[in-house]
Amino acid sequence: GAGVSQSPSNKVTEKGKDVELRCDPISGHTALYWYRQSLGQGLEFLIYFQGNSAPDKSGLPSDRFSAERTGGSVSTLTIQRTQQEDSAVYLCASSTGQGAGQPQHFGDGTRLSIL
Amino acid sequence: AQSVAQPEDQVNVAEGNPLTVKCTYSVSGNPYLFWYVQYPNRGLQFLLKYITGDNLVKGSYGFEAEFNKSQTSFHLKKPSALVSDSALYFCAVRETGANNLFFGTGTRLTVIP
């Protein structure tokens, strides 16, 4: 069956440019997460969406980062005025419902490189 | 605050031997514990979880993990390692009421033929 789909798989951009990363969760999954994986910081939580509730933005590292989820499905993570330290793999995950015991299913990520 | 420790950055084991990847955790209240595996240029794949019940949890690809409340550990095990098990393994914890998983730093497992 279809898993979590992320695009693009790779993105190279110049410092100062804006980037948009897309995530298509598994159909029917109401919870959606963004994480960042980098060599120095490991896996960091960025933002969480659950249904129509207000997102948990507590992991966003700065106001240059934002995300939205349209129609309870597709999500876009936007990074404005990119910096070199934003270089990382950005992972999206989805899960069913709100239960803390539900496993999160991950996409293959977007590898972002800032020149 | 939740935290996870994976004390070994690298574990090497011979093919056919048993393997253990260690994980200890710290949470408030009862933990939800997970193991994920990551292959090169791929996302994380769910292996198994502990929520409640039996301390020995069985998961995908012959992996299992033992929850030990007194030692706050959740070590990943497999009786007989395969070369294809070589990958990066992450332990994760989620506190009751928390929205996100908190991951360990990962352990790279290499199975030597």
Number of Cβ atoms within 10 Å of the Cβ of A66: 14
| Cα–Cα nearest to A49, from A74, A65, A66, A69 | A69
Per residue of chain A (115 residues), give pLDDT as tens. 589 999 999 999 999 999 999 999 999 899 999 999 998 778 999 999 998 889 999 999 999 999 999 887 999 999 999 999 999 999 999 999 767 788 999 999 999 999 9
Tell me whether A107 touches chain B (CB under 8 Å).
yes
Kindly identify which residue of chain A lies nearest to residue B44, measuring between CA atoms. A106
Structure tokens at A50: 């659950």
Shortest CA gap B32–chain A (Å) = 6
- Which of B100, B101, B102 to probe the A interface (max A CBs under 10 A)? B100
Structure tokens at B68: 């030990």
d(CA A4, CA B61): 21
Residues paired with residue B41 on neighbouring β-strands, in sequence order:
none
SS3 (DSSP) at B50: strand
- The C-alpha angle with vertex B90 and arms to B59 and A7, in degrees rounded to 5, equals 100
